[in-house]
Structure 1
Amino acid sequence: MGNTDKFEMIANIYDTPERIQIAKVSSDAIRECLVDAKSKNAIDFGCGTGLVGMNLLNDFKSILFLDTSQNMINQIKQKISSSNIQNAATLCFDFEKDSLSDLHADYIFMAQVLLHINDVELVLSRLYEVLKESGHLLIVDFDKNEKIVSDMVHNGFDQIELTEIMTKIGYRDIQSKTFYTGSKIFMGHDASLFILDSQK
């Protein structure tokens, strides 16, 4: 996945008050989309230090924290062991390089991850394979922002364009909405976050 090296370096200083706040509003938005999730298993895809997934541990039967950065995964392992969490596991893996045929989930959620992924369609296709029948992929990310120019990340996403890509892959019942606007939250610019809910 893009920018893994950068995340390896900042893993131990990643949990800033701003990131914790964005993670809270993101996990609240994800929670509103869940249906009968207490008996379901989930993957926190591109989990970073687990800020979003940790907020949702009580909403699922289990969560697998998955990231390409081993240092980020190590941060989560520490959180899991220090809090004696029983329904969480970790996996360091890169879906841009490989696919996992033996991994399956009822829910996959990703918060501010897609903007770091070079080949969006490829990764969304591989996540589609991981979802169980009628499983949900939930995406939280920034609305497209023309002020942001970067070689490192996408400058957000147009919800309609993203819906079209996902429909082509096979996702259905796709719904999305902007749910949060914040000051200087995207590379120093004011920006808004959307949530997209889709089903296999």
Structure 2
Amino acid sequence: MEESVFQHIAHRYDNDPQIHLTGKIAGEMEARMSIPHRLLDYGCGTGLVGLRFADEADHIIFADAENEMLKIVQQKIKDLDLKHAETLHLNVVEDTLPTIQVDTIIMSLVMLHVPDTQTLLKQLFKLLEPGGQILIADFNHNENVSHPLIHSGFTQEEVKAQLEEAGFTDPAIHTFYQGEKIFMNQDASLFLAKANKS
């Protein structure tokens, strides 16, 4: 298996543009989210989004498939002395699911890197408690982006259909941010999707 590009960029991931973008994402999630108790930040990267909820959630699990990203999150957890946070090496598409249940899942700029997004959502559905919520931020479909390893964004209709196919209810999706050169050096916009588990 080829080493992921994220293994190489982990230690320079927290740059100013990325911090700005993840701040916009976290702010929008916070505005739409019911109070989280047990929160899973799936595909957490260096924890830029999930750490914004450290004061709100009773317990936070930072999960990622890349060990280098998790090492950075672990150091941040230590530096901030967060007793209610932990990391988890996890790829829900390929790994056996852990025996955890959470009431909130957040996922920021993860789907575009996952070939099988339908399986991704179906697996995350299993980790969510009944009555729980999922919030997903990613790029709207962008015809100017073409790359063999990532999706060119998503239409909101297909995200809604995939959420419903995975079992989620009441999916609501809206565009909340537009920026210059934020997606493969192209101008792009971000959507936020929120759905529930009945």
Q: Please state which band the TM-score falls in when normalised by the shorter chain.
A: over 0.9
Alignment partner, residue 137 of structure 1? 134
Indicate whether 1:61 and 2:91 are aligned.
no
Q: Tell me the residue number matched to 1:78.
A: 75
- Give the secondary structure class of the aligned counterpart of 1:181: strand
C-alpha separation in 1, matches of 2:3 and 2:167: 28
Whether 1:164 aligns to 2:161 is: yes
Aligned 8 A contact 1:4 1:69 in 2: no
What letter matches 1:23 in structure 2? T
Correspondence for 1:25: 24
Equivalences, count: 197
Structure 1: gaps of 5 or more residues: none
Letter of the 2:161 counterpart = E
Structure 1 residue 36 displacement after superposition: 3.1
C-alpha deviation, 1:101, in angstroms: 4.7
Quick one: distance in 2 between partners of 1:3 and 1:45? Answer: 21
* Coordinate RMSD, CA, aligned: 1.4
Deviations 1:59-95 (A, max 9, x none): 2111100000000000000111112112210001111
1:89 to 71, 86, 95: 86
Partner of 1:43: 40
Most deviating of 83-92 and 66-75? 83-92
- Note if contact 1:3-1:152 (Cα within 8 Å) is conserved in structure 2: no
Secondary structure of the equivalent of 2:6? helix
Partner of 1:91, secondary structure, is strand
Change in CA separation of 1:4 and 1:35 when aligned onto 2, cut-off 3 Å: farther
1:52 aligns with 2:49: yes
User: C-alpha displacement at 1:24, in angstroms?
Assistant: 0.4
Shift of 1:181: 0.3
CA shift in 2, pair 1:135/1:173, >3 Å:
same
- Match of 2:66, as an amino acid? S
Equivalence for 2:9: 10
Equivalent residue letter for 1:170: G
- Alpha-carbon contact 1:64-1:88 (below 8 Å) kept: yes
For 2:196, the equivalent position in structure 1 comes to 199
Instruction: Write out the 4+ residue segments of structure 1 that deviate beyond 2 Å after TM superposition.
Output: none
Q: Give the aligned partner of residue 96 of structure 2.
A: 99
**1:186 and 2:186 aligned:** no
Q: Per-residue CA shift, 1:26-79, capped at 9, x if unaligned?
A: 000110122232xx1100000000010111211211110000000000000011
Alignment partner of 1:193: what SS? strand
Change in Cα spacing, 1:150 to 1:117, as seen in structure 2 (3 Å) is: same
TM-score, structure 1 length as denominator?
0.95
Aligned to 2:116: 119
